[in-house]
């Protein structure tokens, strides 16, 4: 097993690279998973805006409007001078400033609504835009009740009651807006790290064996050529499976309950399938490089392009239709699709699209391996 020992001896020189990328991956997956878990929610909630109000209105409408805003938002003291007000808005101590003129009630009673309130906000502030919409909605409801013949006091009471009503929101898909398990985020970014490790580490070993001088010495040795290839294949299988088991061990530590569930089992199979594809991509890349620098370039090209276009780093929902059509020709796209579909599976009978994605990733693996083998044979014929 001399070739087998050399395989792992060469690979041991890349252990620092492996450790660095594994640590980077752990920081990314754990940090994002924790962040999404903290901000995950199953229902919509009202937004509370920090608002400062200057009420000069001498009628009841201005006072009622301020009272309504105070019940749902954070009323702040309005600064005494313009510079202090600008500082407060710059440092987001105040999101919106509302000025109610002294003739507000009088003008509203005559049917005038536009331009009677003065609002100041930071340009592009979503919270402030929401604030203006809410105020306008409140005034529209009051105006509607008054147009129906109700007294102002009664119209204000009914408007406040209407604004208190809430609508139950149901998500169209189970995963939308809901908290996902930490295991989901761990498996989401596996394509990137698998591609990097396979291309850099496995690629370096294969490049060493394909060195012209070493290859010539191997052919002159007493060991049969097929025996050398069997030992290299065995080393490749053990390396791939070892990397896979290492990450499954980390997944177990991060979210034990997820990994030992149906979804966790399917996610583990998904990762195993992609590890096969990643080693095939690495084999493909080795056939086109002549130095370690070129191998690093290939590693960055394939890992980053597959991750961004395939939906690993950028959500597929944010991509345009044309980009998604292109992404279908990338194996990581089908890995991500499988990872998303797995979160909706309650039993194996519902995993049809997951199995389809597994098959497509394996088809990509076969394609990369076949093209790499063809290139290798063509290179041997030219020697």
Do 331 and 306 form a contact (C-beta atoms < 8 A)? Answer: yes
**What pLDDT score was predicted for residue 269?**
95
Residue ending a domain, choose from 164, 184, 210: 164
Instruction: Assess whether 31 and 81 both reside in one domain.
Output: no
A 10 A CB-CB count for 220 gives: 6
Residue ending a domain, choose from 164, 197, 224: 164
Q: How far apart are CA 248 and CA 361, in angstroms?
A: 19
Instruction: Assess whether 181 and 273 both reside in one domain.
Output: yes
Instruction: Assess whether 212 and 298 both reside in one domain.
Output: yes
Query: What would the mean pLDDT of 321-348 be, rounded to a whole number?
Result: 91
355-383 burial code (b ≥16 CB/10 A, e <16)? eebbebbbebbeebbeebeeeeeeeeeee
Do 34 and 176 form a contact (C-beta atoms < 8 A)? Answer: no
Question: Where would I find the H helices in the chain?
Answer: 2-12, 15-39, 60-72, 82-90, 104-109, 126-147, 152-164, 182-188, 190-197, 203-209, 212-219, 225-254, 256-259, 262-286, 292-309, 321-327, 331-342, 352-382
**Has residue 45 been placed in a domain?**
no
Instruction: Assess whether 17 and 91 both reside in one domain.
Output: no
Phi, psi of 106 (to 5 degrees): -65, -45
The count of structural domains within the chain is 2
Residue ending a domain, choose from 129, 164, 199: 164
- Residue 124 predicted with pLDDT over 80: no
Q: How far apart are CA 73 and CA 203, in angstroms?
A: 59
- Residue 227 predicted with pLDDT over 80: no
- Residue 175 predicted with pLDDT over 50: no
**What pLDDT score was predicted for residue 355?**
94
Instruction: Assess whether 97 and 223 both reside in one domain.
Output: no
**Has residue 169 been placed in a domain?**
no
Instruction: Assess whether 351 and 257 both reside in one domain.
Output: yes
**Has residue 227 been placed in a domain?**
yes
Query: What would the mean pLDDT of 286-303 be, rounded to a whole number?
Result: 87
**What pLDDT score was predicted for residue 41?**
46
**What pLDDT score was predicted for residue 176?**
46
Q: Domain range for residue 255? A: 2-40+175-382
**What pLDDT score was predicted for residue 221?**
59
**Has residue 170 been placed in a domain?**
no
Between helix 331-342 and helix 190-197 the angle, nearest 10°, is 140
- Residue 365 predicted with pLDDT over 80: yes
Instruction: Assess whether 75 and 187 both reside in one domain.
Output: no
Region of poorest pLDDT, from 25-39, 53-67, 220-234, 253-267: 25-39
**Which domain CATH number covers 70?**
3.40.1710.10
Instruction: Assess whether 309 and 278 both reside in one domain.
Output: yes
Instruction: Assess whether 293 and 239 both reside in one domain.
Output: yes
């Amino acid at each position: 097993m001399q070739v087998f020992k050399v395989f792992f001896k060469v690979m041991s020189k890349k252990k620092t690279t492996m450790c660095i990328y594994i640590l980077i991956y752990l920081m990314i997956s754990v940090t994002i998973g924790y962040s999404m878990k903290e901000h995950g929610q199953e229902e919509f909630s009202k937004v509370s805006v920090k608002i400062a109000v200057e009420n000069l209105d001498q009628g009841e409408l201005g006072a009622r409007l301020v009272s309504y805003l105070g019940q749902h938002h954070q009323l702040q003291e309005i600064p005494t001078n313009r510079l202090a007000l600008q500082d407060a808005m710059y440092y987001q101590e105040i999101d919106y400033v509302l000025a109610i003129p002294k003739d507000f009630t009088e003008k509203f009673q005559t049917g005038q609504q536009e331009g009677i309130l003065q609002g100041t906000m930071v340009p592009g502030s979503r919270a402030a835009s929401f604030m203006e919409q809410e105020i306008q909605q409140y005034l529209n409801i009051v105006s509607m009740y008054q147009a129906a013949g109700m007294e102002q006091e009664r119209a204000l009471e009914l408007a406040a009651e209407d604004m208190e009503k809430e609508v139950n929101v149901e998500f169209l898909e189970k995963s939308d807006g809901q908290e996902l398990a930490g295991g989901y985020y761990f498996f989401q970014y596996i394509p990137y790290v698998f591609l990097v490790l396979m291309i850099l580490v496995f690629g370096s070993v294969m490049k060493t064996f394909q060195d012209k001088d070493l290859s010539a010495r191997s052919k002159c040795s007493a060991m049969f050529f097929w025996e050398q290839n069997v030992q290299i294949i065995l080393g490749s299988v053990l390396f791939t499976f070892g990397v896979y088991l290492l990450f499954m061990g980390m997944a177990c530590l991060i979210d034990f309950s997820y990994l030992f569930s149906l979804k966790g089992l399917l996610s583990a199979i998904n990762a195993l399938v992609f590890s096969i594809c990643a080693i095939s991509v690495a084999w493909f890349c080795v056939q086109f490089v002549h130095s370690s620098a070129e191998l690093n370039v290939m590693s960055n090209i394939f890992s980053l392009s597959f991750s961004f276009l395939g939906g690993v780093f950028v959500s597929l929902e944010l991509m345009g239709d044309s980009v998604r059509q292109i992404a279908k020709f990338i194996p990581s796209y089908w890995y991500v699709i499988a990872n998303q579909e797995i979160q909706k599976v309650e039993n194996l009978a519902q995993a049809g699209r997951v199995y389809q994605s597994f098959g497509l990733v394996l088809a990509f693996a076969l394609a990369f391996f076949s093209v790499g083998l063809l290139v290798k044979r063509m290179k041997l014929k030219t020697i």
